[in-house]
């Protein structure tokens, strides 16, 4: 069974630690399973939690895993306690992931280093909890570098229940047996310089999938005026580039009209192999999709 990694530490030794010696602390993985009332008697949820817990114990070793259960309060316990909850399909109160957020703020870098958090839930949450989690984690002096969020069970899960934990980390988000999203949100998109570097539709779509995933996770359930302004600036740059490119093509078409048998071909794209449907449209000179896609990011 799991042994509390701070059990043999005296109060004096714990309080004497400073931020400068956090590297001397023990590295642990936190496995935090939602056992709120909506999970009660739900085999679809608990069977997946059990399988995932066993996988974590095998991968990281029992002594490196801290097992938690949470509803509106946090219940640390042994691995046997969590296994008993899994076996009995237990579920109790409301859903308040903010108790997990507060636990991480209180413990990470103070009693131990959390190298990874796995938070599991059926995705049924009060919207106010997203704001509470964001406030707690935004003020945390130390961030969790790696997050795995698992949305298990029969409900249509609310992704916002786990979004606050993944806003500034490498993240993987699962829904039952599928990966919904994964990426690295450790640097905010609006301050990373990635958007500023994009000047053409081709560059935009080359990075669209990765950007879209990170933007959704970093901003789900919250407003971000700085990011909105960056996206509006990007949209303006793309429209200016499209206008310039249209003028260029018109000039070339007029100059080549007498000699060219096919003026519909854009020689600037000759030899380019395009697989993505969006990129095919770009190869034909249809850039409207780029502007439309930036608008979806702005509106989200």
State residue 61's pLDDT score.
97
Cβ–Cβ under 8 Å, residues 137 and 106: no
Cβ–Cβ under 8 Å, residues 266 and 281: no
Record the pTM. 0.61
Residue 5 lies in a domain: no
Cβ–Cβ under 8 Å, residues 141 and 108: no
Is 83 in the same domain as 217? no
Is 24 in the same domain as 158? yes
Residue 1 lies in a domain: no
Element (H, E) at 30: strand 27-34
Is 201 in the same domain as 251? yes
Range(s) of the domain holding residue 40 = 11-186
Cβ–Cβ under 8 Å, residues 61 and 189: no
- C-alpha 220/C-alpha 223 separation (Å) is 8
Number of structural domains found in the chain: 2
Residue 4 lies in a domain: no
Residue 110 DSSP SS3: coil
Is 198 in the same domain as 179? no
DSSP H helix total and E strand total for the chain: 11, 7
Is 218 in the same domain as 275? yes
Is 126 in the same domain as 174? yes
Residue 3 lies in a domain: no
Cβ–Cβ under 8 Å, residues 142 and 112: no
Does position 5 have pLDDT exceeding 60, yes or no? no
Model confidence pLDDT, tens digit, residues 214-268 = 666 555 555 566 656 666 666 666 667 777 777 777 777 777 775 665 555 555 4
Model confidence pLDDT, tens digit, residues 260-271 = 655 555 554 444
- C-alpha 159/C-alpha 200 separation (Å) is 32
Domain end: 163, 186, 209, which one? 186
Residue with tokens 């699962």: 174
Domain end: 123, 156, 186, which one? 186
């Amino acid at each position: 069974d799991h042994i509390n990694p701070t059990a043999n530490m005296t109060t004096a030794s714990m309080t004497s630690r400073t931020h400068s010696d956090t590297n001397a602390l023990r590295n642990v993985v936190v496995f935090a399973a939602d056992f709120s009332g909506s999970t009660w008697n739900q085999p679809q949820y608990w069977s997946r939690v059990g399988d995932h817990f066993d996988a974590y114990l095998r991968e990281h070793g029992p002594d490196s895993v801290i097992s938690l259960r949470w509803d509106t309060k946090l219940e640390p316990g042994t691995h046997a306690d969590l296994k008993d909850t899994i076996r009995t399909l237990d579920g109790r109160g409301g859903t308040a992931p903010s108790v997990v957020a507060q636990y991480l703020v209180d413990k990470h870098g103070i009693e131990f280093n959390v190298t990874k958090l796995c938070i599991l839930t059926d995705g049924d949450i009060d919207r106010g909890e997203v704001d509470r989690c964001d406030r707690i984690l935004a003020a945390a002096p130390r961030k969790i570098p790696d997050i795995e969020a698992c949305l298990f069970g029969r409900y249509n899960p609310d992704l916002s229940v786990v979004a606050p934990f993944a806003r500034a980390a490498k993240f993987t988000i699962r829904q039952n047996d599928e990966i919904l999203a994964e990426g690295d949100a450790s640097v905010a998109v609006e301050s990373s310089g990635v958007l500023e570097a994009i000047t053409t539709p081709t560059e935009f779509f080359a990075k669209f999938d990765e950007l879209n995933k990170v933007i959704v996770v970093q901003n789900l359930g919250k407003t971000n005026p700085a990011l909105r302004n960056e996206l509006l600036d990007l949209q303006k740059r793309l429209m200016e580039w499209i206008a310039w490119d249209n003028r260029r093509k018109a000039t070339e078409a007029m100059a080549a009209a007498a000699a060219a048998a096919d003026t519909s071909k854009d020689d600037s794209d000759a030899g380019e192999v395009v697989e993505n449907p969006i990129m095919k449209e770009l190869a034909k000179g249809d850039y409207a999709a780029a502007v439309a896609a930036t608008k979806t990011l702005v509106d989200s």
